[in-house]
Amino acid sequence: MRNDVFRFFAVISSLGFSITASSQVTKPDTQLPAISQPKIRNVTPEEMWKRVTQCVFPTYPGLALNSKIAGTVDIALGISPEGEIANHRVLTGPPLLVQAAIGAILQWKFLPDQLSKPAGAWSRVRALVRFNADGTTVIDLTAAILADDFGDPGIPDFRNSEPRTITKAIARPTSSPACKSEQPWTGAQSSDIEAGETNPGSYRNRYFGISLTFPSGWQTADRATLDAMYLISREGTVNNHSPMSPNVDFSPFPTHLLFFARTAGPIEGSGPSVRIWAEKQPFGGADQYFANSNFLRDKTADGTRGPEPIEINGIRFYRADRWGKLAGGDVYQIRLVTYRRDLILGIEIVAGDRQAAEQLWQTVKGMTINRLLL
């Protein structure tokens, strides 16, 4: 019996040793090979612009513009090897502008990284999304904050960012694709609003659905001239629709110069003129325009009249007149405004006296307006 017991423990011991020996021989290595993290490369803004295939400027939030909130939203970007914005972080910026900035920047597309060796690295750069006081927006690119291969792709280090945030910002070069830019409240691009067909004796704007026929002798401004006139007006201190009023403030809201013609003499002259423009104002109707405009409060004018409601082709406008002297000569202005497609649509007639201005008014009265676009 005792021999059987010894034999039993001998078998168990041998099995245990065999199992232990076997496990020591076949035990797999539990330390897995290190997984290589994707390389992170800070890309210069100049290089990043060359990789841009799609860019979008944000729409200015109406509440922020009405509240005169302007500023820059600084966003750190992590671009995947395929060229997608895979992650982002807002560094600084006015809270009311942040969501509009993010919404625009996430629509950007880039070419895949080809310069890294080996290729296929993450790219890191920052976007400076600027909201200007005149309602326009633009995005510049600038250098990232962290060093190459430091941290997660696109995630900056707030603790160490402040001393290094002052870097050169690079605007879109002409060689890069044009960025889509939508104007506030309208959902339309500026080029759509301003697009018009001007021919000898006629003008047509499809966006507002207006057509104007006039004598073929009028000298009309082309798009380049209109843009130049607008820029000159913005650089001055007066409203670009107020040639008689140096004390009138320029509107900070977006303005679109649509049409300008001299009825006599060259464009750069001082003869009678007709101007059509569109602008955004914080109020929601043409009936409130003159109450909120300095047109009738101009202290340099000798007199004013209006406003009064009138109709052009069944569309209600509001008319106001003022007259006085400019550069030693007499000037008479008629201004008409209506509300169309969430913008103030204005017409202004400038002549040397009331009779000449009223004659031009008779031409403008023949303008046709598509009622379906109201």
Spatial CA neighbour of 73 closest among 56, 96, 98: 98
Domain spans of the chain?
40-181, 190-373
Are 324 and 272 in contact by the 8 Å Cβ rule? The answer is: no
Pairing of strands 40-42, 122-131: parallel
d(CA 372, CA 374): 6
- Reading the block at residue 242, the tokens are 């107020």
User: Which helix (DSSP H) or strand (DSSP E) does residue 98 occupy?
Assistant: helix 95-105
d(CA 61, CA 58): 9
d(CA 311, CA 244): 26
Instruction: Give me the tens of pLDDT residue by residue for the chain, a chain 374 residues long.
Output: 445 544 444 444 443 434 343 444 444 444 444 444 557 788 888 888 999 999 888 888 877 877 888 899 999 999 988 889 988 999 999 999 999 999 999 999 998 877 666 667 788 899 999 998 777 788 999 888 765 544 444 444 433 434 344 457 777 777 777 787 765 555 556 777 888 889 888 899 988 888 888 988 899 998 888 888 877 776 553 443 444 444 444 455 678 889 999 988 888 888 899 999 988 776 668 888 888 888 888 778 888 998 999 988 888 999 999 998 877 788 999 999 998 887 889 999 999 999 999 999 988 887 777 654 44
The CATH label, of 3.30.465.10, 3.30.2290.10, 3.40.1000.10, 3.40.50.150, for the domain at 190-373 is 3.40.1000.10
User: Given strand 210-213, what is the order of strands in its sheet?
Assistant: 197-199, 202-205, 210-213, 368-369
Per CATH, the homologous superfamily of domain 40-181 is TonB (3.30.2420.10)
Name beta bridge partners: 73: 129
